[in-house]
Structure 1
Amino acid sequence: MSAAPRRALLVIDVQNEYFTGNLPIEYPPVSTSLPNIVSAMRTADDAGIPVIVVQHDAPAASPVFAQGSAGWQLHDAIAGLPRQHHIHKTMASAFAGTDLAEWLAEHDIDTLTVAGYMMHNCDAATVYEAAHRGLKVEVLADATGALPYANDGGRASAEEIHRVYCTVFHSNFAAVCSTRDWAGAVAGGTALAPDNVYLSNQRARM
């Protein structure tokens, strides 16, 4: 029988910028993702799973996440919830320039559960780096969010971006699941597993 996962819940950038600032999350709507983030944090606390809150810092002149600004502040819904560690970062990955890797190693964590924003930016950078560092990764799809983009590379809606990243993550890098299914796995002490690239491609070709 395999050992139960030694999880930590990483709550990325749940800051006012994504709610009332210049980068409003569109999909899933924050009316869905925020309650699920809160639920995940409470599930983790009840289960003795450490919660790590990540906060993005930008220079004072930045149009988003300017340190000390209203948009930089953690959202009230999560600011007062229990957490075991609080990381400030300046780059997309929560590992870059922080003590996250060392903290996880010190606490014998082998599975990192990711919630928060944005799915395609800071979540993605963190998921990839965690996987490359040998951690098992879980992504709570309905406790994350995306916003639309348009640039010289193309145009994509928030729903398209979120769906594509969920699909790509689950093909190789992370087990993508709902907050409810994750809570069930936590209660049962069971691991969640991703698919694989080969089978994901084979199904799409049928």
Structure 2
Amino acid sequence: MAAALLIIDMQRGLYDGPQKPFERERVLHTINQLIRRARTANAPILVARHTGPAGSPIEAGSSLWQLWGGLEVDESRDYLFNKTRPSCFLGTDLAQKLAQTRISELVIVGMKTQFCVDTTCRVAVELGFSVVLPQDGHTCMVTPALTAMAIIDHHNETLAGVFVKRMSAAEVSFMQPVPKM
């Protein structure tokens, strides 16, 4: 099973906006560790940027739309794409790109847990992909109704089993299993 790392919305406007993501430094460190492991295994790295309409703070090309500087993405070799919806699939060529490269499993990380991470996990499964969700590789902000930790815990529990294989980032491997003879 060929796996790829999908990083969602790790952009300046979300990561470093007025409301800071929960445990943002730890999550960034975790994602960068996964990037390094994916590179070592020659696994594809796909990076989604949420793009707002013209005039919005996160319109294409704006400062807040850019990827967070501490993210170890290499724009010359990683596949960056723009999305305008919570799903990384709707209105993008992500599914076609994955089919072309024969990717059948996605390791999904990034922001925001209750919106783009959740939606992309569910849609990926509907499209026939296997999904790994590192329980410590996604984050969000506090809301008036729930703490960020409650949102993250809820989604880790809700998505596990039916939609994703939940594990810690340290358990994620991009290495191909050796076929049995």
TM-score over 0.5 for the alignment?
A: yes
Pick from 148, 166, 170 the counterpart of residue 176 of structure 1.
Answer: 166
What's the counterpart of residue 65 of structure 1? 58
Q: Over aligned residue pairs, what C-alpha RMSD do you find?
A: 1.8
* AA aligned opposite 2:21: I
Q: TM-score, normalising length from structure 2?
A: 0.90
Q: TM-score, normalising length from structure 1?
A: 0.80
The aligned length equals 177
Aligned sequence identity (%) = 27
What is the alpha-carbon distance in structure 2 between the residues aligned to residue 138 and residue 14 of structure 1?
A: 18
Q: Would you say the 8 A contact 1:40–1:179 is kept in 2?
A: yes
Deviation readout 1:124-161 (Å, 9 max, x if unpaired): 110000001111001122121021223xxxx1111100
Q: Does 1:189 align with 2:177?
A: yes
Deviation readout 1:94-146 (Å, 9 max, x if unpaired): 00100000011111111011011111111111000000111100112212102
CA positional deviation for 1:45: 0.7
CA positional deviation for 1:92: 0.6
* AA aligned opposite 2:13: E
- Quick check: which has more Rg, 1 or 2? 1
Q: Would you say the 8 A contact 1:130–1:136 is kept in 2?
A: yes
Taking a change above 3 Å as real, the CA distance of residues 46 and 79 of structure 1, as seen in their structure-2 partners, is: closer
Deviation readout 1:2-30 (Å, 9 max, x if unpaired): xxx2101101111012232144212xx01
Instruction: Name stretches of at least 5 consecutive residues in structure 2 with no aligned partner.
Output: none
Pick from 155, 168, 177 the counterpart of residue 165 of structure 1.
Answer: 155
Q: Does 1:18 align with 2:14?
A: yes
Large movers: runs of 4+ above 4 Å: none
What is the alpha-carbon distance in structure 2 between the residues aligned to residue 73 and residue 88 of structure 1?
A: 11
